[in-house]
Amino acid sequence: AFEVLVVGGGPAGSAAAIYAARKGIRTGVVAERFGGQVLDTLGIENFISVKGTEGPKLALALEQHVREYEVDIIHLQRAEALIPAGIDGLIGVRLASGAVLKSRAVILATGARWREMKVPGEQEYRTKGVAYCPHCDGPLFKGKRVAVIGGGNSGVEAAIDLAGITAHVTLIEFDRDLRADAVLQKKLYSLPNVAVVTSAQTTEVLGDGRKVVGLAYRDRTSGESHVLDLEGIFVQIGLLPNTDWLKGTVDLSPRGEIEVDSRGQTSVPGVFAAGDATTVPFKQIIIAMGEGAKASLGAFDHLIRTSVP
Ligand code: FAD
């Protein structure tokens, strides 16, 4: 059995594994895809102390750093169930293969994924104008025209943020009204370079073969189609935590995020969590890494206070 078993090999899981291994305890990592969302990222310019890097490069560096230590990496395996500790004091993690890994402490770091619009052009122009993270990619659109899809809190926050960087922002909302908090809406409507279109369904991302040049939408009231000329589209229709497999074991928020305290402890003793899969606000690489380190130290603290039965 492991002393610490990490589920997830993104920034949070990698940091958790390194911090655990450095304590000299038996550490394992199960990851479906080592590197996580970082693998899907092109340029990264906000990983402090590294002026600029690329996702696949950082993902490789994460794995190499973990491999510097005696960490058992169980790659290309999907965790399907968490089994709280029985009388042996060991927590189980059941894999899709049917195998059950046992550990005294478990750190959940299964990350999240952006909800996509699923319209023609979205995949083709991903990282070529279609973006999901305003904190990451906003500055790439300095002085350009962009759209934000989604009028919830994240969409309206993104539009306010982008209005300060870009030339013009069009916010597109599917429903008749925006769903964001009133204070955010008030701020949004006070900005001179923002237009809001409601009852609008995005139908296509338009490109010239290399990059985004526009967005097509249908007015849901009149049925008419429209085209906006722009260079960037920020999709803000939800971030889905990869926590379906945990339903019924650890406490999840209404959005499905794992509830954690300030030490990364979940509702199940000995089970910790970190990164985008948790309730910790702001989903970023540097934050996920810090949270992974924190959950790992939390798990170590738990281990030295609990004796082996
Ligand atoms: P993830 O990176 O999502 O990793 C989750 C890990 O868990 C993966 O290894 C996955 O395979 C594994 N996993 C999931 N489910 C299971 C399961 N059931 N069993 C086993 N393994 C499982 N952030 C920045 O700071 N700067 C940027 O420039 C930036 N750009 C981004 C661009 C894009 C396109 C995207 C999608 C995200 C970007 N982000 C950026 C956000 C950043 O990538 C995330 O905040 C960060 O990767 C979260 O780390 P994590 O370890 O919590 O989760």
Please tell me the total number of residues recorded for the chain in this structure. 309
Q: Residue 307: its pLDDT value, please?
A: 75
The domain spans of the chain are: 2-113+239-305, 130-235
ipTM exceeds 0.90, yes or no: yes
Q: What is the CATH number of domain 130-235?
A: 3.50.50.60
Q: Do domains 2-113+239-305 and 130-235 have the same CATH topology?
A: yes
Question: Which atom of ligand 1 is nearest to 286's Cα?
Answer: 25
* Mean pLDDT per 10-residue segment, the chain (309 residues): 98 98 98 95 92 96 98 97 95 98 98 96 96 94 98 97 98 97 97 98 98 98 98 97 98 98 98 98 97 98 86
Q: Which residue CA neighbors atom 14 of ligand 1 most closely? A: 110
pTM, 2 dp? 0.93
Q: Residue 309: its pLDDT value, please?
A: 59
- CATH architecture for the domain at 2-113+239-305: 3-Layer(bba) Sandwich (3.50)
CA of 61 to the centre of ligand 1 (A): 15
Question: Which atom of ligand 1 is nearest to 31's Cα?
Answer: 21
Q: Residue 42: its pLDDT value, please?
A: 80
Q: Residue 40: its pLDDT value, please?
A: 87
List, chain by chain if needed, residues with CB within 6 Å of any ligand 1 atom: 7-13, 30-34, 36-38, 40-41, 44, 46, 78-79, 109-112, 114, 132-133, 136, 242, 245, 275-277, 283-286, 288
CA of 191 to the centre of ligand 1 (A): 33
